[in-house]
Amino acid sequence: MLPKSRIVNLPVYQPGKPAEEVKKELGLKEVIKLASNENPFGCSPRVRAAIEAELANITQYPDGSSAELTEALAEHLGVSKEQIIFGCGSDEVIALICRAFLLPGDETVMADQTFSVYNTNSRIEGAEIIEVPLQDGTHDLEGMLAKVGEKTKIVWICNPNNPTGTIVTDDALRSFLDRVPDHVLVVLDEAYAEYVTDASYPDGISLLGSYSNVIVLRTFSKIYGLASLRIGYGVGQPEVIQLINRVREPFNTSRFGQAAAKASIADHEFVKECREKNAEGIQFLSAEFDRLGLAYFPAHGNFMLVQVNRPGGEVFQELMKLGVIIRSGFGKYPDYIRVTVGSKEQNAKFIAALEQVLKIGQVQA
């Protein structure tokens, strides 16, 4: 008999289905994956050279402190090296924050439909989860503030929010932070920050000088296109980062990830091009959703959440048969699907497939 465990009822995270698996299952020759918010334009050309140079060191452990990458990123962000921690993706940093600060019985506040890893890792540490409903797909900061109490340790704000793609503005966020008690850590997850073009969007890094209880999360998995290398980071006050570092495992990022991330930081033009192409993709998809009469949330990341007026799981299955992988299964939005903004060709194929699926659904109804 297994020992008792409080995690036995935790859901297992379901990643986007791999294209190779779908090809094999359904006998398809061509499949496009628009499920995991990966960068359809690849990564900086500088990354290949950086990885090839690291092949000579494949037998050696990585630098556990990520010294060279830390120095490059600190200069890029305008912060001190002591303010940065790296993880195996930003989701590991989320786990480390929970491990460092949450105790059984502590409370943590988050939106009711946001990145699920906040909930899972908080529950692993035995914390009480307080979920506040989104308002029009956006974090209800006033509602979240009302739930903050003496037992509250962490508030999570995903900005842009995954899966809705909405943002909280700079004014709203500063007003919220001005009133959050000092004993509460506010985690700003900005995994998609580099995609945002809205002038009202706050730069979390610029808030660190005014709010000592803020930590900002970002990643190289999204616009930088390094998802397979699993490297993300947190930026906060040195004393906060030092505490999180105490629970970090040694060598938690690879030599290849560190080298690729360092090369990526320097390629500003690549990031700019990806941001512009993504904005064009959002404009195209928005216009097509309007044409099809489908409601959707305003998108600020590299994905869109659109209402398909049928169970999202059904549409997921039908699209997969046509060689298009998207995401469904969002509890508060059961008749929505989330689609990554792809290349022009991918976006066009997705719309053609979606239109076909929706017409089939109308005939069956």
Cβ atoms of 174 and 214 closer than 8 Å: no
Alpha carbons 154 and 143: distance in angstroms, whole number: 15
pLDDT of residue 29: 77
Query: How much is the pLDDT for 114?
Result: 98
287 and 326 inside one domain: yes
Instruction: Indicate whether 286 belongs to any domain.
Output: yes
* pLDDT at residue number 264: 98
pLDDT at 318: 97
Global confidence as pTM = 0.93
What does the pLDDT read at residue 362? 63
Closest CA to 234 of 220, 217, 246, 250: 217
Residues 240 and 330 in one domain: no
229 lies in the same domain as 103: yes
Q: Are residues 128 and 235 in the same domain?
A: yes
- Residue 11: inside a domain: no
35 is a domain residue: no
Asked if residue 214 and residue 74 are part of one domain, the reply reads: yes
Rounded distance, CA 24 to CA 18, Å?
A: 10
Q: In this structure, what CATH number is given to the domain that contains residue 359? A: 3.90.1150.10
Same domain for 256 and 296: no
Whether residue 276 sits in one domain with residue 262:
no
The answer to whether residue 263 sits within a structural domain is yes
Q: Is 40 domain-assigned?
A: no
Are 204 and 288 in a shared domain?
Answer: no
Average pLDDT over residues 315-321: 96
Domain co-membership, 306 together with 253: no
Beta-strand runs (E) in the chain: 32-33, 84-87, 107-111, 128-132, 152-158, 185-189, 214-219, 232-235, 303-307, 324-325, 336-340
Residues 307 and 177 in one domain: no
Mean confidence (pLDDT) of the chain? 94
Is the predicted pLDDT of residue 316 greater than 60, yes or no?
A: yes
pLDDT by residue (tens digit) across 17-76? 677 777 777 777 789 999 999 999 999 999 999 999 999 999 999 999 999 999 999 999
Specify the pLDDT at position 13.
55
Q: Residues 250, 347: one domain?
A: no
Last residue of a domain, one of 209, 243, 267: 267
- For 130-185, the pLDDT digits (tens) are 999 999 999 999 999 999 999 999 999 999 999 999 999 999 999 999 999 999 99
Taking 60 as the threshold, does the pLDDT of residue 203 lie above it?
yes
Domain containing 119: what range?
45-267
Domain count, the chain: 2
Q: pLDDT digits over 77-113, tens only?
A: 999 999 999 999 999 999 999 999 999 999 999 999 9
39 within a domain of the structure (yes/no)? no
